[in-house]
């Protein structure tokens, strides 16, 4: 498995087995399952805060 590299807000380079783009329902579920399998992962999200309103209306219904 090839490690992926990402740079943190502080400019620090981090390595991980899987880099997940987006902290929505799919990204977070993927991260949880990878953790259970012992696979290192990193979720990156463009927003700095939690949204007050759901974005995935089909899932939230």
**pLDDT tens profile 26-58:** 999 999 999 999 999 999 998 888 778 776 666
Q: Name the DSSP class of 2.
A: P
Asked if residue 53 belongs to a domain, the reply is no
Neighbours of 54 (CB within 10 A): 12
Asked if residue 8 belongs to a domain, the reply is no
Show the DSSP H helices in the chain as ranges: 25-36, 57-60
Q: What's residue 10's pLDDT?
A: 76
Neighbours of 47 (CB within 10 A): 8
pLDDT at 17 over 90: yes
Asked if residue 60 belongs to a domain, the reply is no
Domain count, the chain: 1
Rounded CA-CA distance 61/57 in Å is: 6
Q: Name the DSSP class of 54.
A: -
Residue 32 domain boundaries:
16-47
Q: What's residue 51's pLDDT?
A: 76
Asked if residue 4 belongs to a domain, the reply is no
């Amino acid at each position: 498995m090839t490690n992926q590299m990402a740079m943190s807000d502080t400019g620090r380079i981090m390595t991980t087995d899987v880099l997940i783009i987006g902290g929505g329902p799919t990204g977070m579920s993927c991260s949880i399952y990878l953790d259970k399998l012992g696979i290192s992962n990193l979720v990156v999200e463009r927003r700095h805060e939690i949204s007050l309103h759901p974005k995935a209306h089909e899932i939230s219904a």
